[in-house]
Amino acid sequence: MRGPLLAYVLTASAFVAAWFARGTFPFGDTGRAINDQANQYVPFHRALWDLVHGQAAGDLFFTWRGGFGQQFLSDYHTYLGNPFSWLAVLVPRDHVDLAVFAVTPVTMGAAAAVMTVYLGKLHAGPWWQRGVLGAVYGLCGWALSDASYIPMWLWGLVAVPMLGIAVEWCLEGRRWPGAALLVALAWFGNFYTAMMATMAACVLLAIRLATRDTTGRERLLALWRAATAAGTGILLTLPLLLPAFLSSGAAQPTKAAAFDPVRVEVFFAGLLPATHLWGGRPRLYVASLGLILAGSFLLNTAIARRTRLVWAGAAALVLASFQFPPTQYVWHGLAVPNGNPYRETFVFSAMVVVLAWLALAGRPQPRHLALSAAVLVAAAFVLRRTDDFGGWTWPAVLVGGGVSLLALVLLRLGEKRRFLVPVAAVLMIGVVLAESTAAAAGADARRARERWAKPIPTSNQSIAAHFDAVRGVGGWPAYRTDSGAPQTAYNDALALRAEGPQYYSSYLPEATYRALQPLGYGFKNDGRTFFGADNPVLDAIFSIGARVRPGAAPGSWTAERFPAPPLVTVRTGPYTSPNPADSVYARQETVLGSTVYEVPQVTRGGGPEAQTYAALCRPGSEAYWYSPALYGSVHSGSTEKPLEDEVTGVTPLGPVPASGRVEVTVRTRTQGADAGPHPLGCLDRAALTAAVDRLKATGATTVDTAGHSLAATLPAGTRGTAVIATTAIPGWSCSAPVRPFHGLLAVDLPPGTTGISCTFTPKGFPAGLAGGALALLALAAVPTVSRLRRRR
């Protein structure tokens, strides 16, 4: 275990040392949570904490927090599958973000440790040398640059050597159940990168079959064992995998662009150590030590010629496949990635490290190592003007490469002068630690200069006060609490234990988008992210009875309670809004079942950048604005609000003055667009109060939620349609047939109905459970049959 331990400590230390060098949290005030780490991963881990500690509104199947109720099983599998994510439940909730940050070095260290074990199965050699090269893999460019803030992807880094071990067991004809369990562990952790790792395992299997001296029958048996182990392992994950697959199919579509390969010089620049630039670039490098050794592999005549040709040829083909659109789609499961398309490059890094180990185990000649180092320097010189060539690239190539070459030469000389071996070991460990620390810090620094990557706070006094304010007015399930704006993260409802519309997930259903978007909720990411809207009509529709808003002092928050209908209300007959049907206000009234708005005709003036709108409304009513086509700001009286096109939902402008004239100025940067025909609506607060009172009087007298179920008691003699304030996403079944009511979940009530009950079951879970049970039976049956055969 000394080799894996060295690999783990070296990898984790280098990455944490980069934190320290940059002065990032917890070693300084610079934030660590960037992009989706702040918006998704930390909130989802806080939701996991709540689930484990009995504080969740929902369970593993369903969460009532966020999106007005959404499936949770697929989100768990995708965002929380990394086994190290459970570190988050072991710390106080206030420190969950720190646990999430720690998942990265812990997982990278685990990947390095497992790679160290795998290298030992490919070729025997000193434990410390395998440990150093295991760390070279754990600190590859993909891990430092692309996946360092995506904890679930990092499980793929563990999966490649883990599945490599499973391949070796299948070749040896032993431990078939263990091989299947390793496949299952890889796919349980994160199916996306596990899919890429499984394809890498197929390549490793093909290489090993081509380089081993075995008979045709033995090759067929190895293929059979590998195929059945892979199939059984994946089937074991089917209770999670199948619901995730079906949830993905039902999710709001995105506009992913077609794969466009980067220029060849940019592609090869990604092979140089310490390079980094955001923009869909491949991160292919490992530390100079690994590159120099891998470069000497083909020249090392101590290794069988067939082994050299097959391994090097396979690595070259894998590298080329990253630039060829058809094979890129295969790497990504025939889907177009929404973001950086080079997400599978850790597979190539694993192969480079294997080549490095085989070369090192073959005792490379100093002249071959020197030639490889010279090629590395020459490549850096040729590619020095590419954008990715960073400030640390030359030091990594010249200093890191020079020290690596010196250490390898001393190691070879140490065969006769043993006192040189410890010197070589210290140099190898030190150069990998120093070069990887610099590469990680450099990648973090360059990424931080990008607008999208500005760190977002995930714990401070303001967030703690926000959380306390939400808890202070919480009343679930009697009513919902909206955490309000501005959002500290896209998943504020999960992070702050609220029940509002805020939700960001790759699985946000198209049904939710089609329900919420027409009502005036803001959204982005093609509709996979929804935000709140400070609008009392929407509050009444979705049973929001409390709201938190920013206070007068910076970092302070105020909370407000107000009457709200129950979670289950009843509509007794059809209703059609008298306002223009294409206005957001008429759509809200249709769902509410009452007329509460005046939608006036507006007159427009001004120019394309400063548009003016004017209308007449009843004095004392409340004016609201909705213009999802415009980006800029809206001004009315003393009120000024930002407009971020589709992100901004229905926006309050304040009371209508005594003159009844509402004047609005929009300063916009959107070319060729205006606010549309009906941007303005004036709310009659008394009419809304009466509508809320009617819904309360006729709605459920009690509502209970338990995990993924809901039960409501209705007044005697209730007839009509029970409308549940959640969107009609796939998976609901109720005590009466379910039907959508303008996108909301609804149940028709037969005469004499005194209550309803509904249960949410993720689509595909029963079938997945059956498939997993069959795989478990197969897993148990194989050892039993083997023992019976041996007894005969």
| Same domain for 548 and 601 | no
Structure tokens given for 356: 């490095």
pLDDT on residue 785? 67
| Residue type present at position 216 | G
Asked if residue 349 is part of any domain, the answer here is yes
pLDDT on residue 279? 72
DSSP state letters, 520-534: T--EEGGGTEE----
Asked if residue 63 is part of any domain, the answer here is no
| Same domain for 699 and 653 | no
Asked if residue 39 is part of any domain, the answer here is no
CB hemisphere CA count around 399 (13 angstroms): 15
Core vs surface per residue 694-705: b (16+ CB within 10 A) or e = bbbebbbeebeb
* Positions of the chain with pLDDT lower than 50, given as ranges: none
| Same domain for 742 and 633 | no
Asked if residue 332 is part of any domain, the answer here is yes
How many whole angstroms from its chain centre is CA 549?
28
Helices (H) and strands (E) in the chain, counts: 28, 25
Question: What are the two backbone dihedrals, phi and then psi, of residue 660, each rounded to the nearest 5 degrees?
Answer: 80, 0
| Same domain for 619 and 651 | yes
> What are all long-range contacts of 368-372, with beta carbons under 8 Å and residues at least 24 apart?
368/296, 368/299, 368/300, 369/292, 369/293, 369/296, 369/405, 369/408, 369/409, 370/405, 371/295, 371/296, 371/299, 372/291, 372/292, 372/293, 372/294, 372/295, 372/296, 372/299
**Cα angle 527-530-533, degrees, rounded to a multiple of 5:** 130
Only one residue has tokens 């040189």, namely: 420
pLDDT on residue 327? 94
Asked if residue 133 is part of any domain, the answer here is yes
DSSP strand pairing (480-482 vs 544-550): parallel
> What are all long-range contacts of 127-131, with beta carbons under 8 Å and residues at least 24 apart?
127/2, 127/3, 127/6, 128/2, 128/3, 128/6, 128/425, 128/429, 129/357, 129/360, 129/361, 129/428, 130/3, 130/7, 130/357, 131/2, 131/3, 131/4, 131/5, 131/6, 131/7, 131/10
| Same domain for 465 and 396 | no
pLDDT on residue 98? 95
| Same domain for 529 and 386 | no
ω into 477 cis (within 30 of 0): yes
Q: Report the alpha-carbon distance of residue 152 to residue 188 in Å, rounded.
A: 10
CA distances to 178, 488, 588, 593, 603 from 566, in Å: 52, 28, 17, 15, 39
Structure tokens given for 375: 């090629």
| Same domain for 308 and 412 | yes
Where a domain ends, among 423, 453, 483?
453
Q: Pick the closest to residue 26 from 88, 126, 100, 106 (CA basis).
A: 100
pLDDT on residue 488? 64
Q: Report the alpha-carbon distance of residue 304 to residue 297 in Å, rounded.
A: 11
Asked if residue 65 is part of any domain, the answer here is no
Question: How deeply is 183 buried, as exposed, middle or buried, from its count of CB atoms within 10 A (0-12, 13-18, 19+)?
Answer: buried
| Same domain for 709 and 666 | no
| Same domain for 134 and 232 | yes
pLDDT on residue 455? 84
DSSP state letters, 568-595: EEEE-S----SS-TTSHHHHHHHHHTS-
| Same domain for 397 and 332 | yes
pLDDT on residue 371? 97
> What are all long-range contacts of 377-383, with beta carbons under 8 Å and residues at least 24 apart?
377/401, 379/268, 379/271, 379/272, 380/272, 383/265, 383/268, 383/269, 383/272
CA distances to 139, 142, 161 from 146, in Å: 12, 5, 19
ω into 486 cis (within 30 of 0): yes
User: Does the pTM of the predicted model rise above 0.85?
Assistant: yes
**Mean model confidence pLDDT for the chain:** 94
Q: Report the alpha-carbon distance of residue 673 to residue 47 in Å, rounded.
A: 40
| Same domain for 659 and 548 | no
DSSP state letters, 708-734: TEEEEE--TT--EEEEEEEE--TTEEE
Question: What are the two backbone dihedrals, phi and then psi, of residue 20, each rounded to the nearest 5 degrees?
Answer: -65, -40
Q: Give the H or E element holding residue 611.
A: strand 610-616
pLDDT on residue 127? 97
How many whole angstroms from its chain centre is CA 789?
47
3-state secondary structure of 259: coil
Domain that includes residue 90, residue range:
2-32+81-250+271-453
Asked if residue 589 is part of any domain, the answer here is no
Question: What are the two backbone dihedrals, phi and then psi, of residue 665, each rounded to the nearest 5 degrees?
Answer: -120, 130
Q: Report the alpha-carbon distance of residue 705 to residue 109 in Å, rounded.
A: 41
Tally of structural domains, the chain: 4
Q: Report the alpha-carbon distance of residue 628 to residue 607 in Å, rounded.
A: 18
Asked if residue 488 is part of any domain, the answer here is yes
Structure tokens given for 477: 């399930």
| Same domain for 418 and 481 | no
Cβ neighbours, 10 Å, residue 212? 12
Beta strand extents in 459-522 (DSSP E only): 480-482, 503-504
pLDDT on residue 25? 85
